[in-house]
């Protein structure tokens, strides 16, 4: 950009720079320069120091403010680089007739990177413009590479901090969209049959979501992979027709597609992409630029490919973590559940009642304990066999669970044919009601037991103990009292419920 109030000077500079292959725009004063830079920032500004209304020094100060505001609206992870204004502001070459040291110092103070005096020597101008642009380009590349490095470290750290796959994918699409300053980034996951779905998406304001659109499946079926996955303009790229139709539907002008493998064997791009087998391919990392066609820079493609490799590692870690979680859940079940009846075992009962006993003591609330014993179960086993006995215990366990409905209650197998029920915040009356409901439910199963000396069906004897625990009072008397009540129920003819308070 050439900024000068003299038309002849603008013409001279425009012609000389155009001859060197530069595209030149002109501004006749400082205000017009600021207005033009607010919409499109040039690579270099040649600014006349002496202009009416707003001189070049004042204009330069306002330009630095404008550039700083523009930077604050962009994603950045480079605090050290961003702290140096020379590294991100468009360079200003001041043009002046003044050669005194004070004016030169002022030019640098307000943000100019160099100066040139009138009358302008075109050879000197060409050399300085070329040097400034070269340095500026190197600085841009430095900032971009540093940003890529910092962003990759940032995302890798986020990935390491979370083994939750959903969080990893969500962070990835968000950070990638911000870094690329593009309109849509999504992650597409393949299903075993070759179809797939968009599992995560980040969208800039004003653009449509593709997450629930099933037509995307026709574009990325793993049996119809296309060798071209980097498109500056979708209409001249070698894409299958329904892929172009899909991209057009969602206003995509340019797209970038990078595979995510299951094995992290090294990302492939271009024609090598099709070397992935269905078994090796987890999904795709896709960027959509919708506002206009875009040429994806090699550094951007390299960044996305490197990130896809990190995703592959994260997927493996997440899968291993899920496998470990599943294994731990199974181990916990083995440790706390009864293998036959799938209800709590003796170990879990001991831990649970001890915890609830102390809690009820703190809250001064009642607790009831029910012991249940299957009447004449040994004779049942002897008559019908152990497999039938196992099935009988399973049905009884299910019947007890059906009557114990509160989330805070516990049903457990105490041992052999004995079951136990813990009822926190339940007094003796409530405990007796639950016990009788259990007894009647088991009788309603109509499990034939011709060996029983009570009924020709399976029945239960139940003993209840209920109390309000005192702080520091031991648990054992509650268990002993419930066991004694059960013994009394057996002595009184079985198929009954006995309650004791203490």
| Two tokens, residue 215 | 């037509």
With CA atoms as reference, report the closest residue to 13 among 134, 83, 95, 101.
95
User: What is the structure's pLDDT at 277?
Assistant: 61
User: What is the structure's pLDDT at 468?
Assistant: 97
Integer Cα distance of 211 and 415 in angstroms: 53
User: What is the structure's pLDDT at 274?
Assistant: 45
With CA atoms as reference, report the closest residue to 379 among 448, 459, 444, 449.
449
User: What is the structure's pLDDT at 283?
Assistant: 87
Per residue in 46-60, pLDDT (tens digit) is: 999 989 889 999 999
44 neighbors 23 (Cβ within 8 angstroms)? no
Residues 6+ apart with CB under 8 A from 123: none
User: What is the structure's pLDDT at 395?
Assistant: 98
Domains of the chain as residue ranges with CATH? 2-147 (3.40.50.2300), 162-327 (3.30.450.40), 346-501 (3.30.70.270)
Residues of the chain falling short of pLDDT 50? 72-87, 222, 224, 226-228, 266-274
Q: Rg of the Cα trace of the chain?
A: 39
Neighbour-count burial for 259-283, b at 16+ CB within 10 Å, e otherwise: bbbbebeebbbeeebeebeeeebbb
User: What is the structure's pLDDT at 159?
Assistant: 66
User: What is the structure's pLDDT at 430?
Assistant: 96
269 neighbors 288 (Cβ within 8 angstroms)? no
Integer Cα distance of 75 and 437 in angstroms: 65
User: What is the structure's pLDDT at 367?
Assistant: 98
184 neighbors 202 (Cβ within 8 angstroms)? yes
For the entire predicted model, the pTM comes to 0.52
User: What is the structure's pLDDT at 323?
Assistant: 85
Residues 6+ apart with CB under 8 A from 443: 455, 457, 458, 459, 495
């Amino acid at each position: 950009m050439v900024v000068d109030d003299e038309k002849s000077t603008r013409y001279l500079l425009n012609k000389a720079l155009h001859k060197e292959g530069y595209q030149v725009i002109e501004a006749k004063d400082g205000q017009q320069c600021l207005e033009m830079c607010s919409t499109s920032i040039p690579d270099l500004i040649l600014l006349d120091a002496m202009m009416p209304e707003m001189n070049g020094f004042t204009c330069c100060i306002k330009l630095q403010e404008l550039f700083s505001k523009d930077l604050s609206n962009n994603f950045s992870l480079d605090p050290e680089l961003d702290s140096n204004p020379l590294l991100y502001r468009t360079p200003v070459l001041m043009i002046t007739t003044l050669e005194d040291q004070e004016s030169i110092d002022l030019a640098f103070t307000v943000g100019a990177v160099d100066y040139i005096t009138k009358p302008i020597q075109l050879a000197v101008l060409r050399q300085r413009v070329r040097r400034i642009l070269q340095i500026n380009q190197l600085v841009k590349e430095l900032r971009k590479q540093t940003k890529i490095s910092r962003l990759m470290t940032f995302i890798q750290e986020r990935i390491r901090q979370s083994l939750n796959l959903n969080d990893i994918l969500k962070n990835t699409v968000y950070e990638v969209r911000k870094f690329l300053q593009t309109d849509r980034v999504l992650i597409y996951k393949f299903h075993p049959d070759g179809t797939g779905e968009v599992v995560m998406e980040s969208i800039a304001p004003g653009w449509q979501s593709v997450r629930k659109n099933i037509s995307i499946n026709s574009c990325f079926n793993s049996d119809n992979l296309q060798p071209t996955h980097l498109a500056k303009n979708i209409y001249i790229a070698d894409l299958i027709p329904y892929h172009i139709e899909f991209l057009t539907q969602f206003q995509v002008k340019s797209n970038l597609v990078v595979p995510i493998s299951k094995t992290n064997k090294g990302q492939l791009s271009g024609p090598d992409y099709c070397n992935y087998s269905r078994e090796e391919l987890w999904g795709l990392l896709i960027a959509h630029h919708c506002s206009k066609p875009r040429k994806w820079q090699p550094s951007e493609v390299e960044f996305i490919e490197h990130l896809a490799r990190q995703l592959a590692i994260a997927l493996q870690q997440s899968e291993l973590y899920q496998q470990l979680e599943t294994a731990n859940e199974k181990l916990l079940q083995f440790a706390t559940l009864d293998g036959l009846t799938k209800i709590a075992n003796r170990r879990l009962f001991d831990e649970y009642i001890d915890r609830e006993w102390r809690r009820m003591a703190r809250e001064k609330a009642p607790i009831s304990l029910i012991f249940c014993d299957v009447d004449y179960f040994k004779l049942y086993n002897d008559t019908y066999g152990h497999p039938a006995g196992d099935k009988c215990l399973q049905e009884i366990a299910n019947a007890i669970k059906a009557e114990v409905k509160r989330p805070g209650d516990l049903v457990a197998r105490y041992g052999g044919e004995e079951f136990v029920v813990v009822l926190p915040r339940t007094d003796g009356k409530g405990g007796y009601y639950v016990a009788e409901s259990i007894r009647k439910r088991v009788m309603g199963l109509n499990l034939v037991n011709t060996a029983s000396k009570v009924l020709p069906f399976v029945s239960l004897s139940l003993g209840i103990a209920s109390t309000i625990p005192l702080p520091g009072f031991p648990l054992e008397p509650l268990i002993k009292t419930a066991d004694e009540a059960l013994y009394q129920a057996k002595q009184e003819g079985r198929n009954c419920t006995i309650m004791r308070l203490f």
